[in-house]
C-alpha cells in the first residue's frame, strides 16, 4: 500500500474577497475529487483571499500509480484559469 500526499500552493486570480476565493477553492476541490478520486482539503491561508493551500491525499497498491496520478493532478491544476500554481510538494509513504 502506498499513500501519496500533495501540497498545492495557489494564487487566486480575480478574487476580491474571501467569498470569491472560497467559490474558486470549493469548485477546484470538488473537481479534483470527482476527476481523480482523491481527498482534498484547504489546509492553510484560510483567511487570505489571494492565496490558497490545498492538501491532496490518495492511497493505491502501487507507488508508480500514485506518482503518475499526483503528476496528472499537478498538470491539471496548472491548466486551470481561475488559479495559478505557485508551488507544490509531493511525497509518498
DSSP 48: -
Question: What region does 22 belong to: left with phi over 0, alpha with psi -120 to 50, or beta?
Answer: alpha
- Please tell me whether residue 84 adopts helix, strand or coil conformation: strand
Are the C-beta atoms of residues 63 and 2 closer than 8 Å to each other? yes
pLDDT in tens, the chain (93 residues): 999 999 999 999 889 999 999 999 999 999 999 999 999 999 999 999 999 999 999 999 999 999 999 999 999 999 999 999 999 999 999
- Please tell me whether residue 18 adopts helix, strand or coil conformation: helix
User: Which CATH number, 3.40.640.10, 3.90.1150.10, 3.30.70.1120, 3.30.470.30, labels domain 2-92?
Assistant: 3.30.70.1120
Distance CA 52, CA 70 (A): 18
Amino acid at each position: 500500500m502506498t499513500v501519496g500526499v500533495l501540497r498545492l500552493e495557489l494564487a487566486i486570480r480575480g478574487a476580491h474577497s474571501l467569498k470569491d476565493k472560497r467559490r474558486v477553492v470549493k469548485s477546484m476541490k470538488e473537481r479534483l475529487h470527482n476527476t481523480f478520486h482523491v481527498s482534498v482539503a484547504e489546509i492553510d491561508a484560510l483567511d487570505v483571499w489571494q492565496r490558497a493551500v490545498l492538501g491532496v491525499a490518495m492511497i493505491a497498491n502501487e507507488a508508480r500509480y500514485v506518482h503518475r496520478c499526483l503528476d496528472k493532478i499537478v498538470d491539471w491544476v496548472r491548466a486551470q484559469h481561475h488559479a495559478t500554481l505557485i508551488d507544490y510538494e509531493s511525497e509518498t509513504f
